[in-house]
Structure 1
Amino acid sequence: MLAQLGAKLAAVCSVAGKPFDIRSGIFAAMTATGMALGGCMPTTVPLAGADPADPGARVAGVGYRSTVAPYNSLRPVAPSSWREQNDRVAPKPKSGR
């Protein structure tokens, strides 16, 4: 039974297989061409605001902020006692009862 089915399938494929192979080849070529040309198409995205290429478009004003505004001069000074510096930053002693 399987041998008979295989023989029928082979006979049908020998007659109808050639046009099908040509059609599938053409379909594959058209699909590949479409995908290749689809990659060349520019993507169009709707703009959310004004067109950036428009020279008359309104934009926010530009403000100036100095990058060195909090600068403090750190010129060399005379050395001071390390004990006085430690006493200034040390925690205050607790008052005893």
Structure 2
Amino acid sequence: MSSQFSAKLFAISAIAAALAAAGCVPTTTQIASGDPADPAARVAGVGYRSTIAPYTSLRPSTPAPWRERNENVAPKSQQESQ
């Protein structure tokens, strides 16, 4: 029983060490074909997207007549409905 536990612990330790070591490996990606210092090298176009494009101002405007608006949404009394 002890040897099975030791084998499982060793396997878990080996997997954890491999994952930790994989985080230290640098990744390389090719940005553009050819020499990066070449001014004639073709590269992807640059796009612009505003981060505040859907923004609408929520500043309050002039106050509406509150009493009239309140009466429009208030439940009708039984006397008014007859």
Query: Which bin holds the TM-score, normalised by the shorter protein?
Result: 0.3 to 0.5
Largest Rg, 1 or 2: 1
Structure of higher RCO (CA pairs closer than 8 Å, 6+ residues apart) = 2
TM-score norm. by structure 2 comes to 0.41
TM-score norm. by structure 1 comes to 0.36
Q: Which has the higher helix share?
A: 1
